Amino acid sequence: MKSHYCLICHTIGKPVRRITDSLLRPHYDQNYPQPVPKGINLGRYVIYRCPSCLLEWADPMLPGSNSYYSWLTQQPNYYPSDRWEWQLVFQLIPKSKHTTLLEIGCGTGQFLSYCLDHGIKATGIDTTKKSVIAAKEQKLDAINLSLEQYCKSTTKKYDYVVAFHLLEHVSNPVGLIKQMKSLLKPNGRIFLSTPYITANFQSQWFDYLNYPPHHLTRWCLNSYQHLADSLHLSIKTYMPMSIRRTSFQRLVSQLKLIAIGPSSASNITLPSLLKFALAHPQVIAKEILLEVAREKVKITNPNNPDQNITQKADYVILVELISS
């Protein structure tokens, strides 16, 4: 069903971009060793932005097909071996064999394995059968069910329910949070991470995976605050601290993506990057201006969760939602 209304605050959205198969396919084919199979249609979408909470969403809210994800999840480095937010979550929760944790969208089990390394036996669910099989082969507690199916099949409650880079994939993100909330013990907590995006946080590199059919929604502080308020949850927000990732480091990262794309960005040499920069001075100038204009955000200090800090927005946000 088509919807021009915000998924959170129900305000009429404004169209900001059109996404088509012909726009996306060359980017996929350039960055993966296997081209997108001809039988997979990458779709046709309009991206809307809410003028109130700044959430961006796709119309239609139609996620990638099973065949699309079966192909994509087999591509090199699709599942990262580590994430910044994993370390922070373990900084914020007690490391105890009595801690109960459920991961939604566990993939092949990297985070579940991370839990075991920190003394926590966690359960994970995922809808991609091949990924769950890979997790089970590592003796991890992974179940091939959707969140809706799992909620119907269990009476278990958890101290923590987490979902890393999942919310942006689903067609009903508010419904997903409600289901996660239903699995919490009293005073339990939800941890979510997504890419961070606002109108003035863009680059000249087209992040094809941050659009449908891969990502259906794009989140910022304002949209998360509206979400928490609508579900009567308290909220804390975290980002990589600016001392760990400076403006110069972000600029270099963006230039690598523009010059050679994500699949090879880590391999580009300094002489090659300098050669690209000298040949494209207008690209450098625009990226510098975009970095200067990057949004300043007020977030929770991960070293002191009772204190807030202000810094420039980074590429990812971790959100802690707290039930009463």
Return the DSSP state at 8. Answer: T
Strand partners, 298: 310
Distances 163 to 25, 32, 94, 126, 321 between C-alpha atoms, Å: 28, 25, 18, 11, 12
Instruction: Give the pLDDT band (50/70/90) at residue 1.
Output: very low
Q: Which pair of tokens denotes residue 184?
A: 């919490």
Q: Which pair of tokens denotes residue 219?
A: 């989140």
How large is the average pLDDT for residues 180-193? 95
Amino acid 296: pLDDT: 87
Amino acid 282: pLDDT: 85
Q: What is the percentage of the chain residues whose pLDDT exceeds 70? A: 94
How large is the average pLDDT for residues 83-94? 90
Cα dihedral sign, 131-137-141-143: positive
How large is the average pLDDT for residues 6-31? 94
Among the listed ranges 69-73, 158-162, 231-235, 275-279, which one has the minimum average pLDDT value? 275-279
How large is the average pLDDT for residues 252-256? 80
What are 143-180's pLDDT values in tens digits?
Answer: 999 999 999 999 999 999 999 999 999 999 999 999 99
Q: Which pair of tokens denotes residue 236?
A: 């804390």
What kind of architecture, by CATH, is found in domain 84-197+221-240+309-322? 3-Layer(aba) Sandwich (3.40)
DSSP string, 144-165: ---HHHHHHH----EEEEEEES
How large is the average pLDDT for residues 190-217? 83
Question: Mean pLDDT score of the chain, rounded to an integer?
Answer: 89
Among the listed ranges 125-139, 168-182, 269-283, which one has the minimum average pLDDT value? 269-283
CB-count exposure of residue 173 (10 Å: 0-12, 13-18, 19+): buried
Among 282, 280, 322, 320, CA closest to 300: 320
Amino acid 202: pLDDT: 57
Q: Is 45 a residue whose pLDDT tops 80? A: yes
**Number of Cβ atoms within 10 Å of the Cβ of 210:** 14
Among 100, 111, 65, 250, CA closest to 188: 100
CB-count exposure of residue 166 (10 Å: 0-12, 13-18, 19+): buried
Amino acid 56: pLDDT: 95
Q: Is 255 a residue whose pLDDT tops 50? A: yes
Q: Is 75 a residue whose pLDDT tops 80? A: yes
Domain ranges of the chain: 84-197+221-240+309-322
